[in-house]
Amino acid sequence: MQAKWGMQGMAVAPHSLAAESALAILKEGGNALEAMVAAAATIAVVYPHMNSIGGDSFWLIHSPGKAIGGIDACGAAAGLATRQWYFDRGVTEAIPFRGPLAANTVAGTISGWGAAQRLSQNCLAGKLPLTRLLADSIYYAENGIPVTHSQSSLTTKKLKELSPQPGFAQTFLVQGKAPKTGSIFKQTRLAKTLRRIAQFGTEDYYQGALANVIAQELQTLGSPIRLSDLHRHEAKLIDPMRLIHSLGNVYNMTPPTQGVVSLMILGILDRLDLKRFKLDSAEYVHHCVEATKQAFKIRDQYITDPAYMQRNPQSFLQPQFLQTLANAINPSKALPWGQGKGPADTVWMGVVDQQGCCVSFIQSIYHEFGAGIVLPTSGINWQNRGCSFSLNPAALNALEPLRKPFHTLNPAMALFNDGRSMVYGTMGGDGQPQTQCAIFTRTAVYGLDPQEAISRPRWLLGRTWGQTSESLKLEARFDPLVIADLSAMCHEIEILSDFDETVGHAGCIIRDPSGVLRGGWDPRSDGGVAAY
């Protein structure tokens, strides 16, 4: 496949309908922020196993001539979410992955949509109303969407653990079974909720009548979230993390995400002169994987809610610190690897408009279908991001009321010295920094177009969605000699299928100084690039 070209605007998403929603907004004169709100709403409907309006989101935003900014739309733990609250309910070892007890953090993504629309209006002369931005999502929820193979197969795979959860079977199953690929899937209750948000604004989710309904339903099901938690929540405008790379400046999200980890990997590889190795050779993959291990060690020791961090995360991107990590890599032998951070269900999307304003966006409910609970009136599937909290008070990510959970989510962006800009990202837990590494190095360092960079075989160290093994996973399209050489370097190898969803759903858009746009989408997803 060849990269898609454009001049006036471009969007990429892991579901083609979301990319088309964004493009429609751009064609109506909307800007990249407005287009992304539309895409975010649509994908919450058409890719329900990957994300929902009951989850969190993060944004990176750049407009030419202005500083890069970001939106942290991540919800904190409920005020009642204490270790004692769980102990009183018989939970003493770990917070469950599923059910009402897993639904212990506020869903922040709707607040992010609102913050983005306000930025659009205040900084980019945005004029499109929320009723227009959410129109596609409301239509798809009311009239239905064709079920993707991804939704059908994943629902089947997780049926046993999800079907007992309150509201799940009624919402996502057909006569007790997963919906068939290509069948029509409607979400009428969610349509009414989206219509209400479009009419009354995103604040209604946290402050209005909708908030009252959401809080009551969560409490009735057994979640610790209360109305006061919704009232307390608001999206935060942030200054993103920045890596000074030899090719330009690379940006990512601040903690509690692992954005600094993605930047550290690129910073380490920048000091190892990666281009001296043949692309996709054993040496190339080995150094990318070993850089990942060095960055993950820092992540697992320090990265958490910023209010609880002991180090300034920007210090991990200082040249001397990165050089120390680069020096620790053995060029011919793999470092032993321990436990990763676990699976994550997510969507990444990118939009660039005619003025060069670009958005890198990620939206998630953590595990597939999140906590699995669906609120009976609003039809909202709630996230289980808070199951990542530990009940051990000495743990880095220990549960505390109002604390933000650690997020694997991290949208990426680069502004190159030659004037190009790039938005890129992926879904996939531990795989997110690794796939970002593959996309960045293949495009920026080796000069591939976005589509080839995404389509070429990928690797994954450790866990991602649907996987719990800690091996180095390689798509079967890698050269057998490369696989053999990596095994000889002491990597524990596991072979995946040719185009395996395990390595994530990636996307990338590059804008040249001339205004020419090139985009790539992941053939492992149901996505597409929409451009004009």
Cite the beta strand spans of 209-344 per DSSP E. 236-238, 241-245, 248-252
Given a contact cutoff of 8 angstroms between Cβ atoms, the answer to whether 387 and 102 are in contact is yes
User: Tell me, what DSSP letter sits at residue 12?
Assistant: E
- Check if 346 is active-site: yes
CA 113 to chain centre: 15
| Structure tokens belonging to residue 121 | 């209006």
* 3 dihedral zone (left: phi>0; alpha: psi -120 to 50; beta): beta
Instruction: Identify the active-site residue in 148, 171, 346, 443.
Output: 346
Cite the beta strand spans of 354-471 per DSSP E. 358-366, 412-416, 421-425, 459-461
C-alpha triplet 110, 115, 120: angle, nearest 5°? 125
User: Tell me, what DSSP letter sits at residue 410?
Assistant: -
Given a contact cutoff of 8 angstroms between Cβ atoms, the answer to whether 385 and 366 are in contact is yes
CB atoms within 10 A of CB 355: 15
- CA 474/CA 306 separation, integer angstroms: 34
User: Tell me, what DSSP letter sits at residue 503?
Assistant: G
Given a contact cutoff of 8 angstroms between Cβ atoms, the answer to whether 137 and 193 are in contact is no
Residues identified as active-site: 346
